[in-house]
Structure 1
Amino acid sequence: MADIKIGIIGGSGLYKMDALQDIEEITVETPFGAPSDRLISGTLDGTPVVFLPRHGRHHHLLPTELPFQANIYALKSLGVAYIISASAVGSLQGHIKPVDMVIPDQFIDRTRHRTDTFFGDGIVAHIAFGDPICPQLAKILGDAVASLNLEGVDLHQGGTYVCMEGPAFSTKAESNLYRGWDASIIGMTNLQEAKLAREAEIAYATLALVTDYDCWHPDHDSVTVEMVIGNLHKNATNAQKVIRAVVEKLAANPPQSPAHDALKYAILTPLDQVPASTKEKLALLLNKYL
């Protein structure tokens, strides 16, 4: 199979891409186990892409249960160099309203029970993560959103995504704490994806889709499940339009990202001292430097 340069990870509400053609389901086994679901390859307007439903196509995986390492490794094994991550989030700020889109450029990690590195077992690497989102890919994403003039949707370019453990939502005290940190949105999944994508030398950007205000908001208690589900459906429809536009722009002019060489100076262990079993396990990441 030829390399597929563009990967799409779909979050809550986005379990498939309706415009995908030439569909093939791919079962990928990785040294880190099975990914969330079978990967779905196909073409969007003639461009090869691969899609992965983050929580599984029937949404059966908790955020803490997600096989983050396997998901990113599987995408890397297919040749993916760019990941567009669509994710449902809550808003921490009054000016960021439901069904708006946010393209964050920072993360705060509030998770506790997750593995977020490929390394260990005899090899140490410290990636640079000061700018966790690829700026080139984020700009393409923002330009795509702006070009569509989606009804009722405001674009917020930049902002901080708080990644919480879940599955329960925040307390009001926590929500107000994050607002005091000037955070923009809150979700449960993207921090680990971003770290692992950086270690895998894949450019990564988040398309955050606001479903509702977090519990700090005085009207939060009046939000119904039906309202949130309705916003999830609207967001999924809008996200597919944005992703098609991004894929078109990426195919026409794929940028060179700093992420594509993230391991060049990050590996501290001499590679001839790394256990053979670890080298084999991480061959997909290390072969470039062996």
Structure 2
Amino acid sequence: MLSGFVERRIVTSGAEIHACVGGNGPPLLLLHGFPQCHAMWHRVAPELARRFTVVATDLRGYGRSERLPGDPQHANHSKRAMAQDQVEVMRALGHERFFVAGHDRGARVTHRMALDHSDRVLRAAVIDIVPTVEVFERLDQAMATAYYHWFFLIQPGGLPEHLIGLDAAFYLRRALGSIGSGGANAGVFDDAALAEYLRAFRDPAAVHCMCEDYRAAATIDLVHDREDRAAGRKLACPLLALWGQASVVGRSYDDVAAIWRAYAPNLTAAALPGGHFLPEESPQETVEALVGFFTG
């Protein structure tokens, strides 16, 4: 999916991570979201590689990265553990300090990384999210309906894993359509990218990891986020927050920038045309926003 990029397998202290590396210039780490993998960057990574050394990875449990079993505290899939993986990937590639941009779940890993590894992250960008703790604390009926998968995927006892496994292709199309503003049948998603997303969805171990990611968000990640908030910890690095004008985030919150400013004093914020999947729906606008921020 990423023409001209070189595939790497990097063993970290927590998981073996799949990465695609290409381009020249300052290092830029790209982190995907649910229900996707590194392939979601196929319309923007080659353009970014003209200015940056781009590293597009699969989060642990997703795509082609290692699957880890769940644990009672969901620590194996906490954003803290996922962020640690990615910092070690960048170090293994020779990048002690770097830029990072994340979409969806990858944006949540990006937020945690910028807090836990402020000495590593030069600048960070988050695409179409507000902080996890804010999602839960501001929840209303409309948001719960739009984000129903947050509560479906955290159910215990293997329930979501089993139901998704009955028809993985159907659930993937449904997830892409309900989260986004266009959907998998509206020409938003490339056929090759869809095939790569489905490749992982047909692996029960990958589906389990994705559920554990959401279970962590509703448990251990909230503990970490609330501890930071109580201690007054905020992002030290400049942050770019992007969201889609037609996305759930864009439609549900009166002032996305104000929400983020409480966490990131040095904030740049903008709504872009499109829905949730901005790198695929609005690639040119996404590239321009990222390049402007990371070269500014």
**Quick check: which has more Rg, 1 or 2?**
1
Higher relative contact order, chain-length normalized (CA < 8 Å, sep 6+): 1
Q: TM-score range by the shorter chain?
A: under 0.3
- Relative to the length of structure 1, the TM-score reads 0.26
